[in-house]
Structure 1
Amino acid sequence: MKASPQFARTRRSTRLGTAAGLAMTISAMLFVARPVHAQNDAMTPIPIPPQPGAIVLDTGPLPGTRAPETWHSQYGSQFARNVTIATLTPFLPDPAKATGAAVIVAPGGGFQTLSMENEGWDVARALAARGVAAFVLKYRLHPTPADMPGFERSMREMFSGVARRPPPDPHAPAASLAPQIADADAAFALVRANAAKWHVDPDKVGMVGFSAGAMLTLTTTLADRDKPAFIGIIYGPLAPVKVPDDAPPMFAALAADDPFFAHGGFGLIDSWMTAKRPVEFHLYEQGGHGFGMYRKETTSTGWFDAFAGWMKMHGWLGAVR
């Protein structure tokens, strides 16, 4: 089957050297991002919730998928699964308080689910309260079994190591994330095209991602195309990468007890510093993986205030032009 021009263009534009570094973490990213919670950890099917204002992106349906989009609750939050049509939901501040800054928010979930509430809507509402236009990206996902027992079984097999996984492909991120990268590109294009209506400065559009969403944020940033004005990498992969000369300022946060990324070194931070690009890194003693906007008794809860302060330091929270 011949690849679509959009797929081919996306794949060509991704830096292969960077893809090789990110491939070392992709198998870990396929696990569902899970916060450290002792309660409400059962996945309970729920109806698809209202998503007022969601805009369908022009990337089309995910090819070759049949399972319908489904949602479930877990950890007191809402998750989407089998997303085949990408959407972008704006959370706009009061125009009188708009700073001109905008952030595309990419939830995590191992590219198999999306933590739409904890790592999406809650983040967007907090940004809008600071005068930042926020846009939650519901990007397309790898298909999973349609029924909940089948999905839970596939997760158990993955975590137990029963499922056989091929060795990392050095081009894996470019190939396997092509739909998600296309969704991110479409999100940036939509925000910039509507900048005046949404009181956004097109030069102040950044991106923040969580876990798999952090990987998508980083891959989008390192591609040969227009880049975000700034990025937030929240408990994402920290493998070293080849940093372009025009890489944007980066904010990164991770918990030292993160089971996926806390013990692989901080090569990404070193890469940004070696390239003499602005970077701020917060390593919290506790927080686990997937803390997001959950209120926890750990200092990781302070990541959002630190991120907002970092944005203010750079002048992105100034008056709209």
Structure 2
Amino acid sequence: MSRHRIVSALVALVCPMSASAQGIPVAPMATPAQSGAIPLGTGGVPGMPAESWFTLAGRPTVRNVSTATLLPVLPAKDKATGAAVVIAPGGGFVMESMEAEAMKPARWFADHGIAAFVLKYRLDPTPAAMEAFKQAALARFAAAAMAGAKGGADIPAPAPALADAQAAMGLVRTRAAQWGIDPKRVAYVGFSAGAIMGVDLVRAAAPGTAPDLFAAIYPSMAPTTVSPNAPPLFVAVASDDELFGKQGYGLPDSWRRAGRPVELHVYEHGGHGFGFDGKAGTTSVGWNQALLGWLGAHGWLTKQ
């Protein structure tokens, strides 16, 4: 794939650059209340402009996050299974898709009895001005696409973001009794950059922070080191993924070679960033039902 085609695909699908020409509306929005969000106390980001919210194709998105938080979305008590999930949205570590890849799945998990916790993690600083931010975001995604087209790894999770994921996992387990959670049934679901961060989270295996299940949604497919006690892995990706579709299947194959449980779903069409509902008109629609079946097979949908 040429650089021109990569950049064009990213502009059209995941980057707000030249949004009016590409038909992707971008608009500023007021910062939502985020009532109930818990500061993780992991520190700030030097030189970070003020946190800024905007809509990208109508989807609430945030950038310049310098204070990490965790927002509980809990199931009704009569539905609660005692299982939990930490959700990390994607956005190339320069923004986070807070509705399509965070709040929407959180509500879905809660409806199925699973306590959900939305992680808003620290990001790399980007220019305060929107036009300059668009340029920075395009450069970030284009770099990842070029690496993916060559079969290599994309940009790894920045240290602050990984620390936030570790803190989130630890907090859910520390306060498990308060939320009616089994500390041995805490999953992690990451989308795109959030999935990349999840791979690093599993690989680091810091005490109390490793997930008991790991779902990676359109992640980097580059191979990785997998320990003998890595959690079961679920992967959902489209074969025409503009970022990672040329990498092969090194990530799930790394799990398989390590003798760890893995489930892989590859959709013919869907592109990168098909969201929680999938891309309309493709077989990626309804991929979350496969996720639901996988969770059920591991006991996340019933009280234990």
Do these two structures clear the TM 0.5 threshold for a shared fold by scoring above it? yes
Structure 2 residue corresponding to 1:239, chosen from 213, 218, 222: 222
Q: Offset at 1:58?
A: 1.3
- Tell me how far apart the structure 2 counterparts of residues 159 and 214 of structure 1 sit (CA, whole Å): 15
Structure 1 residue runs of 5 or longer lacking an equivalent are: 1-27
Q: Give 1:250's aligned residue.
A: 233
Q: Give 2:83's aligned residue.
A: 101
Contact 1:105 1:208 in 2 (8 A): yes
Contact 1:206 1:231 in 2 (8 A): yes
Higher relative contact order (CA 8 A, sep 6+): 1
Q: What aligned pairs does 1:34-49 form with structure 2 within 5 A after superposition? A: 34=14, 41-49=24-32
Q: Deviations over 1:151-186 (max 9, x none)?
A: 12334555678xxx9xxxx9x74xx62101110111
Q: What aligned pairs does 1:1-321 form with structure 2 within 5 A after superposition? A: 34=14, 41-62=24-45, 64-156=46-138, 173=156, 177-226=158-207, 227-294=210-277, 296-320=280-304
Residue 41 of structure 1 aligns to which amino acid in structure 2?
Answer: I
- Tell me how far apart the structure 2 counterparts of residues 195 and 153 of structure 1 sit (CA, whole Å): 42
| Residues 1:273 and 1:146: Cα distance change in structure 2 (over 3 Å) | same
Structure 2 residue runs of 5 or longer lacking an equivalent are: 1-6, 148-152
Q: Offset at 1:316?
A: 2.0
Contact 1:139 1:180 in 2 (8 A): yes
Q: Give 2:150's aligned residue.
A: none
| Residues 1:157 and 1:34: Cα distance change in structure 2 (over 3 Å) | closer
- Tell me how far apart the structure 2 counterparts of residues 224 and 209 of structure 1 sit (CA, whole Å): 16
Contact 1:39 1:75 in 2 (8 A): no
What's the secondary structure of 2:284's corresponding residue? helix
- Tell me how far apart the structure 2 counterparts of residues 159 and 268 of structure 1 sit (CA, whole Å): 20
What's the secondary structure of 1:202's corresponding residue? coil
How many residues are matched?
280
Q: Deviations over 1:278-298 (max 9, x none)?
A: 000000011111111246222
More displaced, 288-297 or 257-266?
288-297
CA RMSD of aligned residues (A): 2.5
Q: Deviations over 1:18-62 (max 9, x none)?
A: xxxxxxxxxx9xx89729x99861221111112121111110212
Residue 229 of structure 2 aligns to which amino acid in structure 1?
Answer: D
| Residues 1:131 and 1:160: Cα distance change in structure 2 (over 3 Å) | closer
- Tell me how far apart the structure 2 counterparts of residues 127 and 299 of structure 1 sit (CA, whole Å): 22
Residue 287 of structure 2 aligns to which amino acid in structure 1?
Answer: W
| Residues 1:77 and 1:39: Cα distance change in structure 2 (over 3 Å) | farther
- State TM-score, norm by structure 1: 0.81
Q: Deviations over 1:109-145 (max 9, x none)?
A: 0000000000000010000000000000000000001
Q: Offset at 1:308?
A: 1.1
- State TM-score, norm by structure 2: 0.86
Query: Identity over aligned residues, as a percent?
Result: 48
Q: Offset at 1:218?
A: 0.8
